[in-house]
Chain A
Amino acid sequence: MSVEFLKGNGQSLKTSRGLSETDEELSRRESAFDSYPKSFSRGWKQRAQSELYDILRECSKKNWDGYDAEPVTPESFLLADNFLDCLPEGILAPEIAPDPDGYISFDWENEGSSFSVSAHEQLLIFAGIFGDTNKHHGEERFINQIPDTISFFLTKYFKQLL
């Protein structure tokens, strides 16, 4: 059985896997994404979610980067989408890109600081350089709430100026 998800840009994404809970959840989110009125802007989160769909579509096969990268799966998409949902308002928009292991990273750059968070199963893996010498990396348990450590870095170094 194959599953076809219609994307907001009119293109479709097919998976050859059975209709699993992941597929159903992906389909539900797709419907929610498409149902937002065009006049209602969710700001960068809406754009970011659109980018996530692009990544899922473009990087769903092994070796998508030419260096034997693992495919981005519906499961890794959902992990990233969960993380996106939980990000606080008032921070700068992240750049979103797939990692070679098939998970998806959210990256921020601002005034000499860089920070990256990858969404894994119940885990966020992060690394950042803040200024010239202040470096941190590690992982934090993640279940639908941004951990304090990551929230601290985001709000301290990547706050959106009003």
Chain B
Amino acid sequence: MSERLPDIVTGKENVVRYLLENSKFTASTGNIRHQAFLPRPDTLQTSVYRINGCTEPKIWNIGQEYVAGPQRKEVLARVDVVASAIISVGLTINPDTDPHPRHANIEGWPADKSARKLKAQEICRKASLCINPNP
């Protein structure tokens, strides 16, 4: 766990959002629902992981060990998105190394839910869905 990442997430970095339940995507079409990026209602943060320099197995392992495992669930899929797609809609990605050095939060969500929905839709348009090959 001695990974050293830049203190700031730049637009060129890639981040992933792990999905633990299937209402947030459609596997057959690759469609990602905007709910995949809507933030927690209490903190208005969306948890993501920074994946630059990670192998595919490592990306899936992080999700299973630090997101799904503690909840006794499986990672069903992940959404990959370049940070610039998030920053360009006026949000920020702030490193938060708990529970993992690669963890970060999308922050800056507006208080207005309709505005949050729109920003999440915009992010989804630039994101790609990856189904877990070994669920």
Do chains A and B stick together as partners? yes
* Smallest beta-carbon distance B79→chain A, Å: 13
- Judging by beta carbons under 8 Å apart, are B114 and A125 in contact? yes
CA–CA, A135 and B113, complex, Å: 15
Shortest CB distance A118–B (Å): 7
Is there an interface contact between B35 and A99, defined as CB atoms closer than 8 Å?
A: yes
Q: Known contacts A97-B35, A99-B38, A137-B118; is A65 also within 8 Å of B21 by CB?
A: yes
- Contact check, A107 vs B68: say whether CB atoms are below 8 A apart: no
Q: Is the interface of B mostly helix, strand, loop or mixed?
A: helix
In the complex, the answer to whether B114 meets A137 with C-beta atoms within 8 Å is yes
A39-72 interface mask toward B, CB cutoff 8 Å, 1 = contact, 0 = none? 0000000000000000100010001111111100
User: Smallest CB-CB separation from B41: which chain A residue?
Assistant: A101
Contact, CB under 8 Å: B47 / A67: yes
Please, how many angstroms separate the alpha-carbon atoms of A128 and B115 in the complex?
A: 10
Closest B-chain residue to A126, C-beta based? B114
Q: Is the CB of B35 within 8 A of A63?
A: no
Interface residues on chain A, number (Cβ under 8 Å): 33
Separation of A49 and B42 alpha carbons in the complex (Å): 29
What are the residues of chain B within 8 A of A64 when measuring CB–CB?
Answer: 21
**Is A23 an interface residue, CB under 8 A from the partner?**
no
A66, A95, A118, A126, most chain B CB atoms within 10 A: A66
Tell me whether chain A's interface is mostly helix, strand or loop, or mixed.
strand
Residues A66 and B121 in contact in the complex (CB < 8 Å), given A99-B35, A100-B35? no
- Return chain A residues, CB-CB under 8 Å to B68: 66
Q: CA separation between A102 and B73, bound complex, in Å?
A: 20
Tell me the bound Cα distance from A125 to B23 in angstroms: 19
The chain B residue with its CB closest to the CB of A129 is: B121
Residue from A55, A64, A95, A137 having most chain B Cβ neighbours under 10 A? A137
B20 & A65 in contact (Cβ 8 Å cutoff) = yes
> Complex formed: what's the CA distance from A39 to B94 in Å?
55
Beta-carbon contact of B41 and A70 below 8 Å:
yes
Chain B: minimal CB distance from A123 (Å): 10
CB interface residues, A 88-136, toward B, < 8 Å:
95, 97-102, 105, 107, 109, 114, 116, 118, 125-129, 135-136
Q: Is the CB of A105 within 8 A of B35?
A: yes
Nearest B-chain residue to A117, judged by Cβ? B117
With a CB–CB cut-off of 8 A, which chain B residues contact A137? Answer: 112, 114-115, 117-118
User: CA–CA, A158 to B34, complex, Å?
Assistant: 18
| A127:B114 contact, CB within 8 angstroms | yes
Most chain B CB within 10 A, of A100, A105, A107, A138, is at: A100
A-B contact pairs, 18 of them (CB 8 A): A59-B23, A63-B71, A66-B20, A66-B67, A69-B41, A70-B41, A99-B35, A100-B35, A100-B40, A101-B113, A105-B117, A109-B31, A114-B124, A125-B117, A127-B34, A129-B122, A135-B118, A136-B118
